[in-house]
Amino acid sequence: MKPEIKNLAKDLIRFIDASPTAFHATENIESTLKKNGFLQLAEDVSWKIKKGGKYFVKRNDSSIIAFVIGSKSPTQSGFHIAGAHTDSPLLKIKTETENCAAGIIRVATETYGGPLINTWFDRNLGIAGKVMVKTSKGYSVKLLKIDKPIAVIPSLAIHLNREANKGFEFNPQNHLQAVISTDPKDKEVLKAIIAKELKIKKENIGEMDIFFYDLEKGKLCGSEEELISSGRVDNLQMCHSILEALLSIGKNEKTAVAAFYDNEEIGSKTLMGADSNFMRSILERITLLLATGKDDFYRAISKSFLISADGAHAQHPNFPEKHDPGYVPKLNKGPVIKLSATFRYATTAESSAYFVQLCEKNNVPFQKMANRSDVPSGSTIGPLSSATLGIKAVDVGNAMWAMHSVRETAGTLDHWYMTQTLISFFRE
Ligand code: CO
């Protein structure tokens, strides 16, 4: 494998390790954009944009949309959009629940998204998220990332539950409380830990959106380092690919747009999710500012195209029967085009044909995926973005095992393939 392929995968792992939550993914994307000459625009001020200009807009510090204005107007060339999600399944900390049981201080959690819960037991857990800090002038926002093993959710020994290996049903209220201290006299342990980390007084901690995350760093593995083993591959892998592709743009005719949305794992219907007006408001605003006619926006939209990029289930060698034999995506065999008769994915024959051409042009192999007809399919930001914006879209992604496990596995080569394809899409 060429060194540049491994280096891209190593860069992805660095990005994932630095991004335990959607807030951190957004912050890391933002700092990379700024280093590459992108200017931040706020939604509540008047915008001045120019052809060739590079910009980004944020919502809730957890979603970010970046764009490079092309030399042709959007009515002539449309928008080329690639989108992914910044959030991953996590355990959200219920900050008001600190309690003592059996002499042990615990804090309760609520599952965010659909994690494979059994993979979260017996892990070294750090704490990360967004904290509102009280100041003399109101609140200031601080991102929190305690990269130390603060907590653990211990599993129950096999001797105390002999049936455990036949499957154990967890009660999220009772069994997902995390241990944060073994001294029953401790008070406000969570706040003390956070105050120390942020170097502020305990009483100045205001509201918080904070999560536990697994501290283990990502690694390349396999005899040829052909596998990427990490948490949050779904979907920081696609965020990384899209960001790389956006940064590769030089002089471009078409306006390229990269969307990194929060809240896909819980249905996207939030202020900053893909099922909000975030994208539409940005596209409309760009078109209006460059407009020559009243129907410019609608003309631009009808010429646009969206690639929705998210993880795809690779066939599992120990459970091969879980896939339709006609659709068996493999690791390191190229991007996967996702198909669904009920449009759980946005792909149509037309949009799929476009993506196939893109792969062929770049000598990138591609694969297809459709669920077994007796298994309901997952979904992505694709169908709702396509429907609410009125933009043709294709759903694609890289093959992976153990989606939503605390540790997922993907292919080193696939990350390269997808990135090359997206670079070509933006540069077209
Ligand atoms: Co996903």
pLDDT reported for residue 292: 86
Percentage of residues in the chain having pLDDT higher than 90: 96
373: its two tokens: 């007809």
Q: Which of 295, 292, 293, 303 is nearest to 255 (CA)?
A: 303
Alpha helices in 248-368 (DSSP H): 278-289, 296-302, 349-361
pLDDT in tens, 360-381: 999 999 999 999 999 988 899 9
Tell me, yes or no, if the pTM score tops 0.95: yes
What is the distance in A from the centroid of ligand 1 to the CA of 137? 39
Mean pLDDT of the chain: 97
48: its two tokens: 């001045």
pLDDT in tens, 247-259: 999 889 999 999 9
What domains does the chain contain, in order, with CATH numbers?
3-88+231-427 (3.40.630.10), 90-214 (2.30.250.10)
What is the distance in A from the centroid of ligand 1 to the CA of 234? 5
Cα separation, 367 vs 191, in Å, equals 49
**DSSP states along 89-150:** -EEEE-TT--EEETTEEEE-EEEES---GGGGTT--EEEEEEEEEEETTEEEEEEEEEEEEE
Backbone φ/ψ region at 336: left (φ over 0), alpha (ψ -120 to 50), beta: beta
What is the distance in A from the centroid of ligand 1 to the CA of 402? 12
pLDDT reported for residue 377: 87
Cα separation, 155 vs 335, in Å, equals 37
Cα separation, 245 vs 424, in Å, equals 8
Cβ partners under 8 Å of residue 117, min gap 6: 111, 170, 172, 176
pLDDT > 90? residue 127 = yes
What is the distance in A from the centroid of ligand 1 to the CA of 221? 22
Place of tokens 């993907």: 410
pLDDT > 90? residue 141 = yes
pLDDT reported for residue 82: 98
Neighbour count for residue 196 (Cβ, 10 Å): 11
What is the distance in A from the centroid of ligand 1 to the CA of 259? 14
